[in-house]
Amino acid sequence: MTAYQFSESFAKEMDAQDALSSFRNEFHIPVWKGKESIYLTGNSLGLQPKSAREFVEQEFLDWQNLGVEGHTEAKNPWLFYHHFLTKQAAEIVGAQEKEVVIMNNLTANLHLMMVSFYRPSKARYKLIIEGGAFPSDQYAVDSQAKFHGFDPKDAIIELKPRQGEHTLRTEDIHQTIRDHADELALVMLGGVNYYTGQAYDMKSIASVAHEVGALCGFDLAHGAGNILLNLHDWEVDFAVWCSYKYLNSGPGGTSGVFVHEKHGNSADIPRFAGWWGHNEKERFLMKRDFIPMEGAQGWQLSNAQIFPMAIHRASLDIFHRAGMKNLRAKSEKLTGYLEFVLAEIANSGKFGFEVITPQNPNERGCQLSVLVKENGKKLYEYLKDNSAIVDWREPNVIRIAPVPLYNSFLDIYRLGKIIKSFEA
């Protein structure tokens, strides 16, 4: 590959060579402070696909014209709406279709999965998470431990980076699992850490967890639609993700669940049940006893949320056309360019910052987390005043997420130019 250059002509040339560049036109780019924004927060809320409106409009029309008959007569019959999402969602996480279901919201799904896959005994009750995990995940695992009568301070083991380091070493994760071999019930990590942007070696973590007799699940809020996933082959037990970050399916959008096929067909796995998880062929016989559907679908509770799912269909359709492998190949170049531009600015000695995200592309997604030593908040505000939308995390980190579907190399160049013009 040609060496990167911090120049407008270089960025434009990279965009001209990018086979995915036209996908940007399929999204609404917000205008902020009077200018088209440099939107680099797809890790927090992905942009709106222009096609989303049509997908939702179809359901508005069918509801308007058909009322309850829409369940069977709508263009996309509502009774089966969740089915229309599974194939493309399975492509994104590297799963078989029957291992995936779209339902509910992320934290609710995390609880449903832990009901089935965190079943502590007196001897084996510990749960490993990342130190400084996303708060919702911390609250979820703490409350699960308490629900089973354990003290979270004893039951929850938090992985911490070594002194002076920002991210976790794979060998340390493995070692912690082995250190607790006999008392460990579950390893539950964010597949990509929301704060540092580190992508964990999910395959080896799942494998070591299994070696010691524990189960392993991932929260892929920052992984789905960002990195290449292979949940089936990695033998991950379960995973959950949201649809509104990299998957561009709207604020508070629906969520996805993966249950590995080795568990999906065991009707006797304890679970919290609802009518939508019941054998579809008999669902409307309204019979007494619950018989779960095979696969992830057997964890459904409620009838499908048509409107958030309509938006999700619009987005998954775009992912399907672009292809995760192509997106990932572009993502590596785009984030590499951001890394280069930041290093150029740092080398000019203007002000101090450190990228805490791993340098190895295999250990990160598209996001770079930049620790700004002084005046970080001021820099963040300055960027926003100049139409560059990045995100600020206390105490001193700016997260920048160039998304390969709609960000361009020119976006990165422009961001660099604004950072360079910052006077603290």
Ligand X SMILES: *Cc1c(COP(=O)(O)O)cnc(C)c1O
Tell me how far, at minimum, the Cβ of 294 lies from ligand X, in Å.
26
Is residue 143 close enough to count as binding ligand X by CB under 6 A? no
User: Do you know the residue count of the chain?
Assistant: 424
Site string for ligand X, 262-281 (x = CB under 6 A): --------------------
Quote the CA–CA distance of 47 and 29 in Å, as a whole number: 7
* One of 17, 65, 72, 136 touching ligand X (CB under 6 A): 136
* One of 74, 95, 106, 156 touching ligand X (CB under 6 A): 106
Tell me how far, at minimum, the Cβ of 137 lies from ligand X, in Å.
5
Is it true that the peptide bond before 270 is cis, omega within 30 degrees of 0?
no
Q: What share of the chain is helix, strand, coil (3-state, %, to 5)?
A: 45, 15, 40
Tell me how far, at minimum, the Cβ of 109 lies from ligand X, in Å.
8
**What is the C-alpha radius of gyration for the chain, rounded to an integer number of angstroms?**
22
Is residue 207 close enough to count as binding ligand X by CB under 6 A? no
* One of 27, 81, 134, 299 touching ligand X (CB under 6 A): 134
* One of 11, 145, 185, 242 touching ligand X (CB under 6 A): 242
Q: What is the largest CA-CA distance in the chain?
A: 72
Is residue 48 close enough to count as binding ligand X by CB under 6 A? no
Footprint of ligand X on 159-198 (CB under 6 A): 190, 194
Is residue 238 close enough to count as binding ligand X by CB under 6 A? no
DSSP state of 249: -
Tell me how far, at minimum, the Cβ of 204 lies from ligand X, in Å.
20
58: left (phi over 0), alpha (psi -120 to 50) or beta: alpha
Tell me how far, at minimum, the Cβ of 315 lies from ligand X, in Å.
16
Selection from 314, 225, 245 nearest residue 43 by Cα? 245
Cα–Cα distance list, 339 to 224, 358, 382, 394 (Å)? 22, 11, 20, 21
Using the structure block, give the residue that is written with the tokens 């993700």: 241
DSSP state of 21: G
Footprint of ligand X on 210-229 (CB under 6 A): 219, 221-222
Query: Nearer to ligand X by C-beta: 132 or 358?
Result: 132
Is residue 105 close enough to count as binding ligand X by CB under 6 A? yes
Is residue 117 close enough to count as binding ligand X by CB under 6 A? no
Q: Tell me which stretch binds ligand X (CB under 6 A): 101-109, 118-126, 297-305, 366-374.
A: 101-109
Query: Nearer to ligand X by C-beta: 4 or 195?
Result: 195
* CB-CB contact of 371 with 356 (8 Å): yes
Tell me how far, at minimum, the Cβ of 247 lies from ligand X, in Å.
11
* CB-CB contact of 170 with 204 (8 Å): yes
Q: How many residues of this chain bind ligand X (CB under 6 A)?
A: 12
Pairing of strands 184-190, 126-130: parallel
Query: Nearer to ligand X by C-beta: 129 or 341?
Result: 129
Tell me how far, at minimum, the Cβ of 190 lies from ligand X, in Å.
4
Quote the CA–CA distance of 282 and 286 in Å, as a whole number: 7
225: left (phi over 0), alpha (psi -120 to 50) or beta: left
Query: Nearer to ligand X by C-beta: 70 or 190?
Result: 190
How many other C-beta atoms lie within 10 A of the C-beta of residue 15?
16
Residues that bind ligand X (CB under 6 A): 105-107, 134, 136-137, 190, 194, 219, 221-222, 242
